[in-house]
Structure 1
Amino acid sequence: MPSGSFNARAYSFFDTLLWIACLNLLWIFFALAGAGILGAGPATAAAHIAIRKRVRGNEAPLARSFASHYFSNFGRANAIALPVMGVAVVLAMNWNYFSRSGDVISQLVAAGIFVVAIFLAGAACYLFPMYARYELPLAQYLLTSSRFAFRHLAGTVILLFISAAAFYASSTIPGLIPFFSVGAWLFVTGWLCDRFFSANDESVATAEAAAPDDAVPVASVA
């Protein structure tokens, strides 16, 4: 079957759709296995590692690979995810408190908290795709993803739009949640982040090649 034929493209599409549905079920199962709070981080890490392998054409049996990466990254993934969850809860509680007040100062504080929450959401979109791609000290992942989100605002806006669209679709059609919602969001954001990181790495490599020998090296995910 020619790779460019309609049948080949249709097969690839439905194969990817089925893969996303399986990824969605695996994420839900393993997140629940970790009581939600302790399972979401490792499940997300395992999902993005699997997505990166598929994007790179280096696929492995999904269920076996997912389970292996879930358990092997359980501690490290939680060390990254739990602080982000904690900050998100604090921001949500503070926004809820100040937004209920009618005075101007409280409304300004609520608006500021909302802006910080949006930026945190943008950085979080890069967090586990970055974890799946780069070997960094644990404390550096959130800092580096925040820097990347700020320096690549166009990509960040795209990721936030996709996240909002996935949330809206899931709230409007709850039947999507058990089959596609999380898996589709993870796959699309993971695929996009892989493209963003690759473009960034190429531009950094070009800059380093053109820089004088005594120039300070540029971080690959700056």
Structure 2
Amino acid sequence: MLSGTFSARAYSFFDTLLWIAGLNLLWIVFTLLGLGVFGAGPATAAAQIAVRKRAAGDAAPLLRSFPAAYFRNFLKANMLSLPVVAVAAALVLNWNYFSHGSGLFPQLMAAGIFLAAIFLAGAACYLFPMYARYELPVPQYLPMSSRFAVRHLAGTVILLFVSAAVLYASSCLPGLIPFFSIGAWLYLTGWLCDRFFTANDESVAAAAEPAMHPALQGASTA
């Protein structure tokens, strides 16, 4: 029995590693297909849709589902990603400018920009997993992911820690980047966000249920 359980877990582990490697390769290929800046958003959307399906137990072939999701969401995903990229670029340029300045004001500005960048990174971690799960008007995704990041600080800290850990591992072992780094980050953040969203939906539904049945609530109180 123990041997069978170990074999099943080992198979699941290596199957997941292989799946992550495939996701990593597809993300790179389709990002390059979109000339980088125009391909990263659709590739990330396709990856998070694939991660959510896998988390739900859907064994759809990655080689078939990823390209379909990429082209189907190309326009909307760019509408999501390009503003975030523009804001991130502006924060980097401004931080670079103020961090090299002397005096109190430039240093305070650099610190404020750094905090804003951390907040943007936290919101961005939720952005495409939220897109993969919920049907919303495109302009609402970033404000919703920002509010979710603030209201669920523990989850946001976990996502930022995972992102920092992946970045650190990739800087120490650059050979991971073309094979695992991007796919691992997409898989871990997508899986975690799916759990956070599920827990939030359940808590919202539980809180709304008494309001939907006031007569039953009064009867139980009596």
TM-score past 0.5 threshold? yes
Deviation at 1:61, TM superposition (A): 0.9
Q: Which residue of structure 2 aligns with residue 101 of structure 1?
A: 101
Give the % identical residues: 71
Q: Which residue of structure 2 aligns with residue 177 of structure 1?
A: 177
TM-score (norm 1): 0.94
Report whether the alignment pairs 1:58 with 2:58.
Answer: yes
Report whether the alignment pairs 1:79 with 2:79.
Answer: yes
Q: Any idea what the Cα deviations from partners look like across 1:87-137, whole Å, max 9, x if unmatched?
A: 000000000000100110110011001101100000000000000000000
Misfit runs of 4+, over 3 Å: 1-4
Q: Which residue of structure 1 aligns with residue 18 of structure 2?
A: 18
Task: Give the aligned residue type for 2:138.
Answer: L
In 1, the alpha carbon distance for the partners of 2:185 and 2:205 equals: 30
CA contact (8 A) 1:98 1:110 kept: yes
Task: Give the aligned residue type for 1:115.
Answer: L
Q: Any idea what the Cα deviations from partners look like across 1:21-48, whole Å, max 9, x if unmatched?
A: 0000000000011011000000000000
CA contact (8 A) 1:170 1:176 kept: yes
Q: Any idea what the Cα deviations from partners look like across 1:40-75, whole Å, max 9, x if unmatched?
A: 000000000000000000121101100000000000
SS class of match (1:37): coil
Report whether the alignment pairs 1:147 with 2:147.
Answer: yes
With over 3 angstroms needed to count, the CA separation of the structure-2 counterparts of 1:15 and 1:89, relative to structure 1, is same
Q: Which residue of structure 1 aligns with residue 199 of structure 2?
A: 199
CA RMSD of aligned residues (A): 1.5
CA contact (8 A) 1:131 1:141 kept: yes
Deviation at 1:171, TM superposition (A): 1.1
CA contact (8 A) 1:2 1:8 kept: no
Q: Which protein has the bigger helix share?
A: 2
Deviation at 1:3, TM superposition (A): 10
Structure 1: runs of 5+ lacking an equivalent: 215-222
Deviation at 1:211, TM superposition (A): 2.3
Figure out how many residues of one structure are paired with residues of the other and give that number: 214
Deviation at 1:17, TM superposition (A): 0.5
TM-score (norm 2): 0.94
